[in-house]
Amino acid sequence: MRKLIAGNWKMNGLASSLAEIEALRGLTGEATCDIVVFPPLTLVEKAVERALGSAISVGAQDCHAEFAGAYTGDISAAMLAEIGARFVIVGHSERRSSYLEADCAVAAKAAAAHRAGLTSIICVGETRQQRDEGKAIEVVRAQLEGSIPDCTTSTNTAIAYEPVWAIGTGLVPSIAEIEEVHAAIRHVLEERLKRDGTLVRILYGGSVKAANAAAIFGVPNVDGALVGGASLKASEFSDIISAVA
Ligand code: PGA
């Protein structure tokens, strides 16, 4: 399966950061994996222009579940598609915790993304407390079951397993822990999507760096990465991309 390496800039980046897209272009060339960058919304359209003709796709970090309407401050998936976004992240833990997004809201956003022709990256992951209580698998299974809409296919969806305690902390689960959760996610996908569930890409996210990327990419059912902090600088991000065998 061709790996997918995604870089989530979160709320970082002014126009000057677009230079990183150009630098990334130069550093990645004919990439052996799919690359997608998620700049803040203000830079999406310009990032699409800078990435044109390269191996880099551009996505947005969230979308609304409705096509249009009285939702002040929100952006629909169709609006994102219109400015050239091809992907959208839904259900990132920062949105689940800050905006209390429930699984059903995440599923509705993913469905809206698919209707607009976007590929969704649906995020799931347990907190430290849930892991310490031995509930990581149970929590991730339940989140996933509730967050994938009926229209999910291997072409319109990737799943990102991001343990909340590993995001931005420098902490990473052990290889065995990553393997166990990714296998559980694969199992849920196969239950729901049958054969097509074997083809959905499952990304790992949470403190991925050049130094740990190769080991993580070697884990069964790890089909790429969702990278936060280490995606902001093209040189660092391209080192992670180079770790794809
Ligand atoms: P991090 O963030 O790589 O900075 O830990 C990952 C994410 O939140 O997607």
pLDDT in tens, 177-224: 999 999 999 999 999 999 999 999 999 999 999 999 999 999 999 999
Which tens digits make up the pLDDT trace of 203-213?
999 999 999 99
Which atom of ligand 1 approaches the CA of 89 most closely? 9
Query: In the numeric block, which tokens belong to residue 223?
Result: 């089909």
CA–CA gap between residue 204 and residue 196 (Å, rounded): 20
| Whether residue 105 has pLDDT greater than 80 | yes
Q: Is 144 in the pocket of ligand 1 (CB under 6 A)?
A: no
CA–CA gap between residue 152 and residue 245 (Å, rounded): 28
Helix (H) or strand (E) holding 15: none
Q: What is the pLDDT of residue 31?
A: 83
Which tens digits make up the pLDDT trace of 117-131?
999 999 999 999 999
Query: In the numeric block, which tokens belong to residue 22?
Result: 């150009």
182 is known as an active-site residue? no
- Domains along the chain? 8-242 (3.20.20.70)
CA–CA gap between residue 39 and residue 76 (Å, rounded): 16
Confidence of residue 100 (pLDDT cuts 50, 70, 90): very high
| Whether residue 30 has pLDDT greater than 90 | no
Q: How far is CA 185 from the centre of its chain?
A: 15
| Whether residue 29 has pLDDT greater than 90 | no
Q: Is 229 in the pocket of ligand 1 (CB under 6 A)?
A: yes
Question: Quick one: average pLDDT of 138-145?
Answer: 98
Which atom of ligand 1 approaches the CA of 229 most closely? 4
- Cα–Cα nearest to 143, from 179, 96, 176: 96
CA–CA gap between residue 118 and residue 167 (Å, rounded): 25
Indicate whether this model's pTM tops 0.85: yes
- Among 207, 231, 232, say which to mutate for ligand 1: greatest number of ligand atoms within 8 Å of CB: 207
| Whether residue 20 has pLDDT greater than 90 | yes
| Whether residue 245 has pLDDT greater than 80 | no
Active-site entry in 20, 101, 126, 162: 162
Question: Quick one: average pLDDT of 85-95?
Answer: 98
Q: Is 152 in the pocket of ligand 1 (CB under 6 A)?
A: no
Do the Cβ atoms of 123 and 160 come closer than 8 Å? yes
Question: Quick one: average pLDDT of 38-61?
Answer: 97
177 is known as an active-site residue? no
Q: What is the pLDDT of residue 23?
A: 97
Which atom of ligand 1 approaches the CA of 123 most closely? 9
User: Cα(95) to centroid of ligand 1, in Å?
Assistant: 13
| Whether residue 19 has pLDDT greater than 80 | yes
Query: In the numeric block, which tokens belong to residue 219?
Result: 């884990």
> How does DSSP classify residue 64?
B
